[in-house]
Amino acid sequence: QKEVEQDPGPLSVPEGAIVSLNCTYSNSAFQYFMWYRQYSRKGPELLMYTYSSGNKEDGRFTAQVDKSSKYISLFIRDSQPSDSATYLCATLNTGGFKTIFGAGTRLFVKA
């Protein structure tokens, strides 16, 4: 079993839709939960991170962590064509040296 599981998609939505991207993880020691965005033929860039459980909001983006079910979510409101990219979830435990990345979900937002 992979330590972080993520549906690769692709996920195709119309402009303006609410998008929900999800990951599950297996190691309860993970404490940092990140979402990276990767445009085609570019390197990933950090979009958001949360520490431990709870929600974090940044503009149209909300990151949510449920440690009891080991579930990570990213919600995108009012999705735009410019949101079309691959979204990678990632986890890290304090004191560890390895960031574990999910396989990434490809998102297409159609105008």
Partner 1 sequence: NAGVTQTPKFQVLKTGQSMTLQCAQDMNHNSMYWYRQDPGMGLRLIYYSASEGTTDKGEVPNGYNVSRLNKREFSLRLESAAPSQTSVYFCASSRDRGVSYEQYFGPGTRLTVT
Cβ(97)–Cβ(12) below 8 Å: no
Q: Which is nearer to partner 1, 67 or 96 (CB)?
A: 96
x-or-dash pattern for partner 1, window 38-77, by CB under 8 A? ---xxxxxx--x----------------------------
**∠ CA 23-4-107, rounded to 5°:** 45
Q: Is 102 in the site for partner 1 (CB under 8 A)?
A: yes
**Residue pointed to by tokens 């609410």:** 18
Which residue stretch of 10-18, 61-69, 74-82, 85-93 sits at the interface with partner 1 (rule: CB under 8 A)? 85-93
